[in-house]
């Protein structure tokens, strides 16, 4: 299969407690396109763009409440296959930053904490072969994953990418 890159060039984070609705355009969400689709997370990067110190407590986590009716990605947001010859998927995965029903991060299914300072800092997560987290299907709690700020995060401007492979 082809590797895809979900990128949001710039967004302001916010502190959100577990099991609390996200605010549109302050997180990145990724969901399987069907009940059986698997997405392998190959890497996550985030870099700071803030003009002052803004500690980030970003969590890559499964969502216990999943989105409904996602809003299409907008300027500065993209979800593209790295190989231009990639065939269209019958059930395309869903990359989103806004929706009518808001997702909520699971209190118990965090994958990785990615802390850094948005005032020029950077963080990366590259799981080892065989240790990659997966999304399975499109329902709670294994069918959707998000990158979001946790309690204690100081709102700050960042950019981020999630590299993944649909299987």
Is residue 122 within 8 A of residue 116, CB to CB? The reply is: yes
- Please tell me whether the peptide bond between 141 and the residue prior to it is cis, using omega within 30 degrees of 0: yes
Query: How sure is the predictor about 4, in pLDDT bands with cuts at 50, 70 and 90?
Result: very high
pTM metric for this prediction: 0.96
Q: Report whether pLDDT(88) > 90.
A: no
Tokens describing residue 105:
């991060």
- Give the number of domains in the chain: 1
Residue 16 is encoded by which pair of tokens?
């959100």
User: Mean of the pLDDT values across residues 52-79?
Assistant: 97
Over range 43-54, report the average pLDDT: 98
| Average pLDDT taken over every residue of the chain | 96
Give tens-digit pLDDT for 8-18: 999 999 999 99
pLDDT above 80 (res 137): yes
pLDDT category, 135, cuts 50, 70, 90?
A: very high
Domain housing 53: 4-166
């Amino acid at each position: 299969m082809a590797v895809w890159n979900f990128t949001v060039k710039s967004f302001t984070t916010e502190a959100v407690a577990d099991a609390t609705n996200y605010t549109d355009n302050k997180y990145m969400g990724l969901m399987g396109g069907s009940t059986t689709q698997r997405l392998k997370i190959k890497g996550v990067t985030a870099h700071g763009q803030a003009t002052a110190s803004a500690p980030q407590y970003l969590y890559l986590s499964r969502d216990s409440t999943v989105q409904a009716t996602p809003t299409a990605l907008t300027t500065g947001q993209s979800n593209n296959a790295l190989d231009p010859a990639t065939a269209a998927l019958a059930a395309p995965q869903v990359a989103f930053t806004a929706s009518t029903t808001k997702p909520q991060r699971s209190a118990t299914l965090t994958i990785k904490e990615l802390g850094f300072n948005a005032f020029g800092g950077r963080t990366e997560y590259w799981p080892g072969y065989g240790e990659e987290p997966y999304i399975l299907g499109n329902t709670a709690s294994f069918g959707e994953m998000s990158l979001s700020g946790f309690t204690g995060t100081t709102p700050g401007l960042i950019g981020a990418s999630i590299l993944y492979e649909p299987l």
